[in-house]
Amino acid sequence: MTPDRSPLFFPAKILRCAALWAALTLAPQAAFAQEPEGRLRLTSRSGSLSLTGSFLGYDGRYLRIATEHGELTLPLASVTCEGADCPDPETWVPELRLSGAGRLGELVLPALVEGYARARGWEPARIETDDGHALYSLALPRETEGAEETDAVETAGRERLRISFRLTSTDDGFADLLANEADMAMAERLLDAEELSLARDAGLGRLDAPGRLQLVGLDALVPVVAPGHELRALSLSQLSRLFAGEIADWSRLGGAAGPVRLHLEAGTSGQMQGFEALVLGGMGRALSEEVIRHPDAAALAEAVAADPGAIGMLPFGQLGATQPLALSGPCGLRSTARPETVSTGDFPLTLPLVLYRPMRRLPEAAEAFLGWIATAEAQLVLRRAGVTGLAPIPIPIEDQGARLAGAVLSAGEDVGLADLQRMLETLDGHQRLSTTFRFEAGEAVLDAVSRSRVVQLAQSIRDGRHNGDALLLAGFSDGRGGPVANQDLSLDRATAVRAAVLSLLGGALPPGVTLDVAAFGEAMPMGCDDSATGRGINRRVELWVAPLD
């Protein structure tokens, strides 16, 4: 695997930076002139070398600047710094700048910030800034109860972390990341190959690598109609044709005659972009020009609920008074958006809520907040905010009648009774956890979200949350290809997940937990193989657990 590389790490620049660093740490001190506003001059403690550049960031120890030699990161203690932007370690307050998707910045992350402050015993204060950003200041509580805050210096002395939000879109958040105007980008969709390539070229590293993509939670887009509508389910193909304008009357779908009116949120929404890519672009269609746009989910839900001819797409948890529709397919499978189907990703229009971070140092206080997001306490906060978190949801096998019935109904020449019996015998005594790993098409290569989930599983095992558990990674495939090849591929996928987990654990499991693999090929499809989305749902490894004997 090729390691992450920024422009600083090309061979010629390595040598140049090494020379600069040696000069900065070894040369004698000298005086220097005042730098113009916005520029810094750094001079080594020994004084023989000075360097000018633009301030990029400071994490409490290291200063990051843009120079003619490229981006450099230096310990502030090793240099003297002159310029208006030089940080003062005595008064400096850690800050985390987030930019991007409004769904994350308006609801999800502010709830997490306030929950984190309560967990630490800090006081959160929301400040609306003149530039339209939202700023949270997390500070130690005042010692004198009821005292008024009059001294800005006193506030700064108590302040422990600032978290600012620029609420725009996934596209703008990514642009701010490239322009160094944000530390992390908030996204309601995964970045595409072109965006990831642009980030690498800009020296931000592989943004889809573990540690660069932080999964905050899972959301889903649900098709909705007005209450009392005759329609109860749609296939992905029908949904695609509706929003492409190819189906313009409800009678085409078995309903009462009447025009179809299409409703979506603004096109800058990452979720709407994800919907267009999955449901329309994936089937070679373009969005109809007749779509009625709304500024937010609440306005969209109100409009759809009041119009018997309307259909819209709403985030799971923000359905309002609308009637949600299940997603069905020609193979007979039907999926309804519920916490467990969103958590597993079995609902076809599940979308991740993620943070993207470049190869940059962040203050320790910011890292502590980001690490807290994966805790059980944070998962409760997410649930109250209407978002499916990352905590595994147990799904007993006796509650999976629809899945097992689907496996029987879809069984054909390639999946016989013996295959189904073997699967049930293997899974007997286990219950499924909602943690699910999915893969790129036709390969045993984990997708970006699943790589993040591997890290979470390894951390759970390391932290003792699976002590006394016999964990089983059950691999499945889509229905394309022959049964032997699909069986082998599903085994390869389960083995790949196990190897990735073990690698993160240093090559061995701790005592008191086991991690085995099993493979069942195409024996239990969760989606129909008539679409790329359905096939992607079927290419998976499920996590099952039983008490260790």
DSSP 243: H
* Cβ atoms < 10 Å from Cβ of 194: 8
Q: How far apart are CA 157 and CA 169, in angstroms?
A: 34
* CATH 3.30.1330.60 domain position(s) in the chain: 392-547
* Residue 476 · residue 539 · CB < 8 Å: yes
CATH 3.30.365.10 is held by the domain 93-143+155-212+357-390? no
Q: Terminal CA-to-CA distance of the chain, rounded, Å?
A: 38
Where are the CATH 3.40.190.10 domain residues in the chain? 93-143+155-212+357-390, 219-331
Q: How far apart are CA 257 and CA 459, in angstroms?
A: 55
Span 219-331: which CATH code?
3.40.190.10
DSSP string, 336-347: ---HHHHHHT-S
Cite the residue boundaries of each domain of the chain with CATH code 2.30.30.100: 7-82
Residue 66: closest CA among 75, 76, 56, 57: 56
CATH 3.30.1330.60 fits 392-547, yes or no: yes
* The total number of residues written for the chain in this structure: 549
Rg (CA), the chain: 26
d(CA 179, CA 208): 19
pLDDT along the chain (549 residues), means of 10: 34 36 38 52 84 90 87 89 90 93 86 94 86 85 56 61 91 92 92 92 89 90 96 94 97 93 89 87 92 94 97 94 92 86 92 91 94 89 85 82 64 67 87 92 82 92 94 91 88 96 95 95 81 86 93
What phi and psi values does residue 393 have, to the nearest 5 degrees?
-100, 120
CA distance 149 to 542: 53
Q: Apex CA 41: angle with CA 40 and CA 47, to 5°?
A: 160
Quick one: pLDDT at residue 308?
Answer: 96
- Give the CATH number of domain 7-82: 2.30.30.100
Structure-token pair, residue 455? 């890290």
Q: CA 116, CA 124: separation in Å to the nearest integer?
A: 9
Residue 517: what are its φ and ψ, rounded to 5°? -125, 155
pTM for the structure as a whole:
0.80
